[in-house]
Structure 1
Amino acid sequence: MASLHFSAKFLSLSPCPNSNYTSYSVYFSCKTKLQRVNLLNKTKPKIACAATDRPQQPQQQRRERRKESKKSKKSESESEKGIDPVGFLARQDISHKQFAQFLRERHKASKDLKDELFKRNLQIKDIAYVFEFLGLHRHPEHRMDFMEWAPGARYCALVGDFNEWSPTANSAREGRIGRDDYGYWFIILEDKLRDGEKPDELYFQQYNYVDDYDKGDGDVSIDEIFKRANDEYWEPGEDTFVNHRFEVPAKLYEQLFGPNGPQTEEELEEIPLLDAETRYKQWKEEHKDDLPSNLPPCDVIHDGKEYDIFRVISDPVWVEKIRAKKPPIPYWFEIRKGRRAWLKKYTPAIPHLSRYRVYFNTPNGPLERVPAWATYVQPDADGKQPFAIHWEPPPECAYKWNNTRPKVPKSLRIYECHVGISGSEPKISSFKDFREKVLPHVKEAGYNAIQLIGIVEHKDYFTAGYRVTNLYAVSSRFGTPDDFKHLVDEAHGLGLLVFLDVVHSYSAADEMVGLSLFDGSNDCYFHTGKRGHHKYWGTRMYKYGDHDVLQYLISNLNWWVEEYQIDGFRFHSLSSMMYTHNGFASFTGDLEEYCNQYVDKDAFLYLILANELLHFLHPNIITIAEDVRNYGFLLFWK
């Protein structure tokens, strides 16, 4: 077999018209002449054409070049799709395809979750501080505010010793101002005016409940406060108050059309209008000698639409002048009165140590529950349903912190302990017993941190505190909230960090004290069906994909850090929440077992977000994940 090599600019293959044999002619242009070669059908030629005079490369080299070009194109397409957005896979040398794809999907889902949270919160960190207004809190305006999340309820009331357990005395109905679209109920309990006392002159009168005396006790009148504030804030001639909400639009209309402006649309169309900036400059020139006023120098932008604030231009000099002024807030605080004046005029709506519950009317009937945000819970003496305790000690009795947090050591030596079984006597030890007897022993043994088990309120003592019922409450078996603060403060004084064993992987299934069927529905805090129940422990599984449940759990972590100065957390039994089979499956170590269809992705996203927020708000916090299934690269925990 012969081969022909051409160096040509033109090449074509066509059948020969004047031939008895089935043959083909090859036409090619070489330099300046057109050449032809006739080929019989019996021959099997191989034609190789090059555009230059260079010799042809071997066939093996051409194949290798094609493979390299395909690989480069594939790598470019994968990089464009964002295969490794955080660089984690490359740093850890992860080559398992399915597991790598799972990590990428988890990273994208985490970003999508943050975008969803932005729709309901100005900042993502706001979900860590919802404990500041959910639950029972004292408001500066001599009242108590109660807020609870119960989307399945149709009626909500607060009952307790303070209102003789009446379900109608302090309530909020659905459809009124007491309930929003997300299922949050809001109840206001006004402090009771004492006999012979007159109501405050100002309906927004505020009180300082901590200090016994404040400037407001000096009977400073509101007129004097406003006069002093106006004299400092406004310049002469600028302190004229707007008498009516249409005063500014009326002035702008008069500036635009004069005192006898058009009254109908037909008259308005007959007037030629200049652009807004030109009209404003003309008006400013005409009124340059006028006295100053608090009405803003601005003009209406006429575009054929109804007047609103977005079609107004203002004098930039005037705007910067107003922005540079600081509001007279110190004068406002001068009308705030102290604790002594408050107790003289009012009795608290809910006194300290009052017992209370939340009352719901549901489609299945009325029920009473311990509030989910209760900070102190005690069992009933007769063995009936427990109740929440309002903890608001007077300032002279409230615990005051004495020690600061110790620095985080380079290496941790953690002593795991349970307060109730820490003593040698046949009784449940208290916070005081642990503080006086155990803490010095732990320090002498060379430990620099303690991990406390069973601190959060729980029902069954035989579970060592792992069937939690109230995430925001300290266990009443060991003492009061102030007793626990004293324990943490004493540990910090000895240089010991305090870690809390937190159980967010499941919850007690008790309906009378826990969150199960909290508002009468089965899907308030937990999943419905089999997914909402632990297969072997009989506990309930949280609905981590719900934003309200998400902020309930994340805010709980921040609550323990802010209120009790906890230094870290150990997240208990993560395998129970990370998998729908609750971790009760055979794990051989294959990475596919950690990213298959049994993974609860919502639980993963909660853990990632909780860890990120904790380290963002408290950079020195310690987070520990307890996982007995040896999950690879768990959550990038610090």
Structure 2
Amino acid sequence: MISLTNPPQISSLPLNSSFSKRNYTNLYSYGRVFLPPNFKNNRCRGKCSATQSQPEGSKQRSERPRKKTQQQMDTDKKDGIDPVGFLNKEGITNKAFAQFLRERYKALKDLKDEILNRHLNLQELASGFEILGMHRNVQHRVDYVDWAPGARYCSLMGDFNGWSPTENAAREGHFGHDDYGYWFIILEDKLRDGEEPDQVYFQQYNYVDEYDKGDSGVTIEEIFKKANDEYWEPGEDRFIKSRYELAAKLYEQIFGPNGPQTEEELEDIPDPETRYKAWKEEHKDDPPSNLPSYDVIDDGKEHDGFEVVSDPVTSERFKTKKSPIAYWLETRKGRKAWLEKYTPGIPHGSKYRVYFNTPMGPLERVPAWATYVIPEAHGNQSFAVHWEPPPESAYKWRHKHPPKPKSLRIYECHVGISGQEPGISTFKEFTKNVLTHVKEAGYNAIQLIGVLEHKDYFTVGYRVTNFFAVSSRFGTPDDFKHLVDEAHGLGLLVFLDIVHSYAAADEMVGLSYFDGSNDCYFHSGKRGNHKFWGTRMFKYGDHDVLHFLLSNLNWWMVEYQIDGFYFHSLSSMMYTHNGFATFTGDMEEYCNQYVDTDALLYLILANEILHVLHPNVVTIAEDVTLYPGLCEATSQGGLGFDYFVNNSASEMWLSFLEKVPEREWSMSKIVSTLIGNKNNAHKMLLYAENHNQSISGGRSFAEILIGSANTEGSLLRGCSLHKMIRLITFTIGGPAYLNFMGNEFGHPKKVEFPMSSNKFSYSLANRRWELLKDGVHSTLFAFEKDMMKLDADDRILLRGSKGLPNIHHVDDTKMVISYLRGPFLFVYNFHPTNSYERYSIGVEEAGEYQIAINTDEKIYGGQGLISQDQYVQRTISRRTDGARFCVEVPLPSRTAQVYKLTRILRV
């Protein structure tokens, strides 16, 4: 194990640094300062928890007055912040909810202040994956950091050390924890027999990039002599005897020749200006030196620390110099050179677990930040796998993110059941067989469910055990990167269905009782357990839980280059009753004692941080209670999502199909349900059916409509309604639409994951792609492609006033619905028997309207009752539906037509 007692004394410290005890530790945490000998290892504290001491007399952020002053309110107003802004915009007057929003905004500001006591900024709060978990360090070692505040001892055990909890896992002086419970463990890279250790710390090795570059054959001494002779000016810094000369002198000037060696010895340091003035006074009689001339800027303004300027001659000399980077690159060695010299402390592919000694006794756990996990199977316990492939075989990205479309056509998929044969499909098979189908169908995004690791396959992936790991059932992390990359190459965005509303209750592999305590990640007692689902509920008010969840979102964006998230089941996290309550529409139901304000603050932080770090990210909220302000800006009192899901649409269709006679379908209810709240419809995502309608016990619409069809007439009825339901759901709502894999061609069977009730059979855990070759499923898919093409070519989902249709004709008696979106006219006749030869529909423009889509065409499996000479209709001057003009169109029963204004006539 490499010793911490022999690193260089100090690196070059910028002369304009505000060199305080706090900044010294922060600089180290970012790798900018190398510790002096015997300096206490504080990497985890500086980066993860920021537990640096404050100089005496300094004011803690948490001591700031929390009462909002008039000055603060004026500042908020100037910055465009209004905690109740969206209420004013929508004309909602509810004093209780408005007061709740104001208090929530104050709580958010206080939370951010508290966060900044432990983290440099909010970006760092969401970047825990940069240090937590397992990471290679340039000092020839692997570092492991995890959070387990209830543990008395932490160690790693795995096949790399014979599954021993002590040997080469954690040693005195090389591991420990801070006051917040962050454990830091160092694993050594061992020198091979006969090899000599590197003499210079700056001898770096390429672990990821530039495979095998840097092996110049030139010795370190020759390289630094070359840099000293060719680059450094007299008096400037030089590297001599394993240390930087100028930095070492500066360190001795500040601290003396026997300066502090530990953080405790460092004590409090005067502010930079005081130190500078004292130094000037001490050296006022010194003879002039050949150092560059620097001095303090005194412009009467306050600065962070103090700044320096150089004289014009020095500035010009610096501008003409070339960067010394070439010299530094020559000191780097490639992967082969490193492997010849060192044995990795934990090789790629090593199996490991974390070992805790707790008040409850010894525990073994799969690490919380593990990035690749093999769940329990065949009687074997779960374990993490260290994923660090050599650079020559690591995945290299080939495609950029596609442009963010203004309208979304989302194809929802589950990788495991995407294969044609019964069994678990893989990332590779999905990439090869499904992505091209999605592109052919006309979608512009895929949404993946069940990607995060979960122990029990039958849970579909919603009981997540390992939040940073892709499911090993489907392949490796690089396999998933290839899937995302190929999707981007086809112009498809990739969204993840993320479950941060609850977690699996599993202990060995999950987070429950992770360190032996009940409330490490979750609430204790009843609040920590979902009353119906048997899952654990996160403690969103804990900063370390926020650190974990926000870092998790950022991890998937950074590591796997995904494009957004579908936040699953928000109602289960936003209310202590988990959303299982009756909502009457009273605004106070959204701000009463059952609302979890901490969960709302987490969602606000998640949206703010994601949209700042990744401006093109898409966030979608699934909330059956339609919480007010889901898609409003956080500065205006909203939660900041880009889209919200209208779940009631699929519930309505399912109720109609299973419980309501066809003649009694209400056209008014169809329209009101699909449109929802007009104020928010421009942010709405609609679907006729998603995975809920066809997975684990449910029936897809095709199974209801077509599966039981035993005559030509019943088959025609089923196909007709299938097309009409999809067309109106797709075109009447907001700018986003979703469909579950296989439903676009009327998959005839439901999905059942293997479980005890079906004797663990995979017979229904697949998709029958062979049905696309011919027959009714082929015609339904042809209709789906043309329906998607309508938006791809004509941006139909963005047409209309403020992106919404003009619904001008709803007749419950005749069962006819009609609406306009830009130059397009949509007409539906849901009547099971009545056809209309010349049905009058009002339009806004006089001209010729031509059929663009007719659900009854023979290529779509229809009867072709409308003849070709009826495909073009000319308006007549007659006021209908409040419009000056109308068209008289043929409407066979159970059909729908889309007309496009192809020629405008002047009247």
TM range (shorter): 0.7 to 0.9
Of 443, 448, 454 in structure 2, the residue corresponding to residue 447 of structure 1 is 443
Q: Pick from 402, 413, 417: which aligns with 2:413?
A: 417
Task: Describe the SS at the equivalent of 2:447.
Answer: strand
Does residue 213 of structure 2 align to residue 214 of structure 1?
yes
Alpha-carbon distance in 1 for matches of 2:316, 2:118: 28
Partners of 2:530 and 2:578 within 8 A in 1: yes
- Equivalence for 1:62: none
1:113 pairs with 2:111:
yes
With over 3 angstroms needed to count, the CA separation of the structure-2 counterparts of 1:624 and 1:223, relative to structure 1, is same
Q: Which runs of 5+ in 1 are unaligned?
A: 1-75, 252-275, 300-311
TM-score (norm 2): 0.54
Kept in 2: contact 1:432–1:483 (CA 8 A): yes
Could you tell me how far apart the structure 1 residues matched to 2:190 and 2:172 are?
26
- Aligned with 1:197 (options 192, 195, 198): 195
* Amino acid in structure 1 at the alignment position of 2:472: S
What is the CA distance between 1:96 and its match in structure 2?
0.7
CA distance in 2, matches of 1:244, 1:429: 63
SS at match of 1:416: strand
Contact kept, 8 Å, 1:415 with 1:442, in 2: the verdict is yes
Aligned residues: percent identity?
A: 65
State the match for 1:133 in structure 2: 131
SS of the aligned residue for 1:110 comes to helix
Specify the SS of the correspondent of 1:413.
strand
Q: Distance in 2 between matches of 1:513 and 1:106?
A: 35
Question: In the superposition, relative to structure 1, how do residues 160 and 248 fare at CA in structure 2: closer, same or farther (>3 Å)?
Answer: closer
Distance 1:518 1:237, change over 3 A: closer
Please state if 1:603 is matched with 2:599: yes
The match for 2:162 among 143, 157, 164 is 164
1:182-220 superposed Cα distances (whole Å, 9 cap, x missing partner): 111111111121122122222553211243433354233
Indicate the SS of the match to 2:364.
strand
8 Å CA contact 2:375–2:454 kept in 1: the answer is no
Paired letter, 2:105: H
The residue that corresponds to 2:554 in the other structure is: 558
In structure 2, distance between residues paired with 1:250 and 1:561:
44
Once the two structures are TM-superposed, the CA of residue 589 in structure 1 deviates from its matched residue by 1.0
- 1:218 is paired with a residue whose SS is coil
Q: Distance in 2 between matches of 1:579 and 1:135?
A: 31
Kindly report which structure 2 residues correspond to 1:362-381, keeping only aligned pairs within 5 A, or say none.
Answer: 362-381=358-377
2:332 to 329, 336, 343: 336
In the other structure, the counterpart of 2:152 is 154
Report the secondary structure of 2:527's partner residue.
helix
Question: Where do 1:389-400 residues align within 5 Å?
Answer: 389-400=385-396
Residue type of the alignment partner of 2:485:
D
- Report the CA distance between 1:93 and its aligned residue: 1.9
Distance in structure 2 (CA, Å) of the matches to 1:248 and 1:323: 28
Matched residue, 2:88: 90
- Spell out, residue by residue over 1:445-467, the C-alpha distance to the aligned partner (whole angstroms, 9 max, x if none): 11111111100001111111100
3-state DSSP class of the match of 2:219?
coil
Are the aligned partners of 2:174 and 2:185 in contact in 1 as well (CA < 8 Å)? no
Matched, 1:632 2:609: no
Residue aligned with 2:435, SS? helix
Deviation, 1:324, is 9.7
Q: Secondary structure at the match of 1:119?
A: helix
Equivalent pair of 1:491/1:497 in contact (CA under 8 Å): yes
Change in CA separation of 1:507 and 1:224 when aligned onto 2, cut-off 3 Å: same
Structure-1 separation of matches of 2:426 and 2:169: 37
Asked if structure 2 preserves the Cα contact closer than 8 Å seen for 1:222 and 1:335, the reply is no
Deviates more, 1:152-161 or 1:135-144: 135-144
Q: CA RMSD in A?
A: 3.5
After TM superposition, the structure 1 = structure 2 runs for residues 207-606 of structure 1, keeping only pairs within 5 Å, are 207-210=205-208, 211-222=210-221, 224-225=223-224, 228-229=227-228, 232-235=231-234, 241=245, 248=253, 287=286, 290-292=288-290, 328=324, 330-606=326-602
| Matched residue type, 1:209 | Y
Partner residue, 1:7? none
1:219 counterpart letter in structure 2? V
C-alpha deviation, 1:91, in angstroms = 2.0
Q: Which residue of 2 aligns with 1:23?
A: none
Partner residue, 1:61: none
Check whether the contact 2:402–2:488 (CA below 8 A) recurs between aligned residues.
Answer: yes
Distance 1:279 1:363 in 2: 53
Q: Quick one: distance in 2 between partners of 1:626 and 1:237?
A: 60
TM-fit CA distance, 1:543: 0.9
**1:372 partner amino acid:** A
Taking structure 1 as the reference length, what is the TM-score of the superposition? 0.75
User: Distance between the aligned counterparts of 1:384 and 1:531, measured in 2?
Assistant: 32
The secondary structure found in structure 1 opposite 2:413 is strand
* Bigger relative contact order (CA 8 A; separation at least 6): 1
Q: Which moved more, 1:590-599 or 1:136-145?
A: 136-145
The offset of 1:423, in angstroms, is 2.2
1:161 Cα deviation after fit: 0.6
| TM-fit CA distance, 1:94 | 2.3
Contact preservation (8 Å) 1:94, 1:100: no
Q: What is the CA–CA distance in structure 2 between the aligned matches of 1:250 and 1:600, rounded to whole Å? A: 51
Query: Does structure 2 retain, via aligned residues, the 8 Å contact 1:505–1:572?
Result: yes
Where does structure 2 lack aligned partners over 5 or more consecutive residues?
1-69, 257-275, 297-304, 631-638, 643-907
Report the CA distance shift for 1:174/1:346 in structure 2 as closer, same or farther (over 3 A): closer
